[in-house]
Amino acid sequence: MNYHWIEDIEEFYKIARDWDEALVASVNYSPFLLSDFIITWWKYFNDNSALRIFVVYEGGKIAGGMPLYIKHYGIRRLGIRIMYHIGGALANYTEPFCAGTGLEVLSLFTEALNGKTDWDAVYLPNVRSENRLMTDYQKRADDKRFMFYVMQDHFNLSIDLSAGKEKYMATISGKLKKDLRQKRKHAIKDYGEIRLQSVKGREEVGRYFDIYTGFSLNTFDERNRKSSFKDKRYGDFFKDFLFIMDQKDRLDTYVLFAGDKILAVIFGYRSGPGFNWALTSFNYEYKYVRPGYLLIEELINEIIRRGGTSCNCYGYESFYKSQWCNERSPLSRFIIMRRSFGGICYLMYQNLERLLRSSKIVVGAVRKIKQA
């Protein structure tokens, strides 16, 4: 096996098809490793960062890899150079894929990192426990060249529907079920029958994405919060990427109607089994009927109708996830630091953050500030 660093996006274009074929063969199912995601994100968010795509070859064919980039912080952050997964906050999983059966990805990755001096830390905030990076870490030998920081502090949440809707619904709270019945009844009475409509094609996907964006901006404004879509690049990136995913039959787009009123819009990635929740927003004008919750119930019906058994809501807690999701799997922060000034500073920062997170007083104060 051997590895190669790609530092020019034009070079990545040339291997994009082989990269995707290897990704499919690896059964990773992460849409954030698709070449289309990498190329489109880099188009809008590279911000003159240094591209570093790690590619592993076995017998002349791609056997694994991980798309990364280096962000060089200024003097106010001591000039630290951090290597991130392509996608940043838009990537719900930040991990490598491995198509080769005998590939020890951590060993090969650290060997590749050892040949570079233009970085201080590699920060991967969302690594699944079953990923080869984690399993290799558990059995690694001591490595005097680097410092490691691995911490499981959040979960991937999903809705497991393998037992069928009836048995699943028996597990959610009686209060939620009662609320759903009442809001559904009210929505039908005032606006008309509720239906979930599938949307396909560039024109329709683009139309409903614009509606989605408007809903998102309005909802955040009403809650005195700032939507990411205030940054035009977010809208441009997602519209481009969703068009590509739709063209390649890797996108699920649904619109929730009550009569002729649009209550909500949702986009999901077709990557592996089930439905993968990507973007959703509801019409704040009809907030009384809980359009987001009606959407989830209708989506569950649609997933089961299609023969699916899961709805992946990805990581980090939120109120709706705690009410609906019945399956949690660990996600870990995986950090590798060089024994350099910048690497040691970054390790000190991580230890300080962990100390602050463990303080109930500090956590409580942060929550109050966010609420305010």
Q: What is the largest CA-CA distance in the chain?
A: 68
**Is 311 a residue whose pLDDT tops 60?**
yes
Distance CA(32)–CA(92), nearest Å, equals: 7
Domain count, the chain: 2
Give the torsion through C-alpha atoms of 361, 365, 367, 372, to 10 deg.
160
Distance CA(264)–CA(260), nearest Å, equals: 12
**3-state DSSP helix/strand/coil % of the chain, to nearest 5:** 45, 30, 25
Name the 3-class secondary structure at 24.
helix
The string of pLDDT tens digits covering residues 128-164 is 999 999 999 988 878 888 999 999 989 999 999 999 9
pLDDT at residue 141, as a whole number: 72
Distance CA(7)–CA(209), nearest Å, equals: 33
Mean pLDDT of the chain: 91
**Structure token digits, residue 155:** 């979960």
322 domain-assigned:
no
Same domain, 171 and 304: yes
314 domain-assigned:
no
Same domain, 50 and 105: yes
Q: Which residues pair with 237 in a beta bridge?
A: none
Per-residue confidence band for 320, with pLDDT thresholds at 50, 70 and 90: confident
**Is 70 a residue whose pLDDT tops 70?**
yes
Runs of H (alpha helix) within the chain: 9-26, 35-45, 105-114, 132-138, 165-169, 174-191, 202-222, 232-247, 291-305, 319-324, 341-357, 360-371
The string of pLDDT tens digits covering residues 82-123 is 999 999 999 999 999 998 777 789 999 999 999 999 999 999
pLDDT at residue 188, as a whole number: 97
Same domain, 93 and 55: yes
Q: Span 184-213, mean pLDDT?
A: 97
pLDDT at residue 272, as a whole number: 82
Same domain, 302 and 190: yes
User: Which residue type is seen at 64?
Assistant: G
70 domain-assigned:
yes
The string of pLDDT tens digits covering residues 41-56 is 999 999 989 999 999 9
Same domain, 303 and 225: yes
Distance CA(87)–CA(95), nearest Å, equals: 11
**Is 74 a residue whose pLDDT tops 90?**
no
- pTM, two decimals, is 0.92
**Structure token digits, residue 179:** 């609320």
**Is 275 a residue whose pLDDT tops 90?**
yes
Cβ(122)–Cβ(68) below 8 Å:
yes
pLDDT at residue 78, as a whole number: 79
Name the 3-class secondary structure at 300.
helix
Percent of the chain with pLDDT over 90: 77
The residue with greater pLDDT, 214 or 76, is: 214
**Is 193 a residue whose pLDDT tops 80?**
yes
21 domain-assigned:
yes
Same domain, 66 and 150: yes
Same domain, 167 and 140: no
CATH of the domain at 93: 3.40.630.30
Lowest mean pLDDT of 72-81, 291-300, 316-325, 356-365, name the range. 356-365
Distance CA(98)–CA(115), nearest Å, equals: 21
pLDDT at residue 352, as a whole number: 81
pLDDT at residue 357, as a whole number: 66
Instruction: Look up the domain containing 73 and give its range.
Output: 2-154+329-371
Same domain, 175 and 300: yes
**Is 366 a residue whose pLDDT tops 60?**
no
Q: Which residue has the tokens 């996006």?
A: 9
Check the CA dihedral 229-234-237-238 and report its sign: negative
**Is 361 a residue whose pLDDT tops 70?**
no
Distance CA(38)–CA(102), nearest Å, equals: 26
pLDDT at residue 365, as a whole number: 61
**Is 219 a residue whose pLDDT tops 60?**
yes
317 domain-assigned:
no
Per-residue confidence band for 299, with pLDDT thresholds at 50, 70 and 90: very high
pLDDT at residue 359, as a whole number: 64
171 domain-assigned:
yes
Percent of the chain with pLDDT over 70: 95
Q: Which residue has the tokens 């080869």?
A: 132
Distance CA(247)–CA(13), nearest Å, equals: 18
**Is 182 a residue whose pLDDT tops 60?**
yes
pLDDT at residue 269, as a whole number: 96
Q: Span 215-221, mean pLDDT?
A: 92
pLDDT at residue 140, as a whole number: 81
Q: How many other C-beta atoms can be found within 10 angstroms of the C-beta atom of residue 172?
A: 16
Same domain, 148 and 168: no
Same domain, 170 and 137: no
Distance CA(333)–CA(139), nearest Å, equals: 18
Q: Span 274-295, mean pLDDT?
A: 94
84 domain-assigned:
yes
Same domain, 75 and 213: no
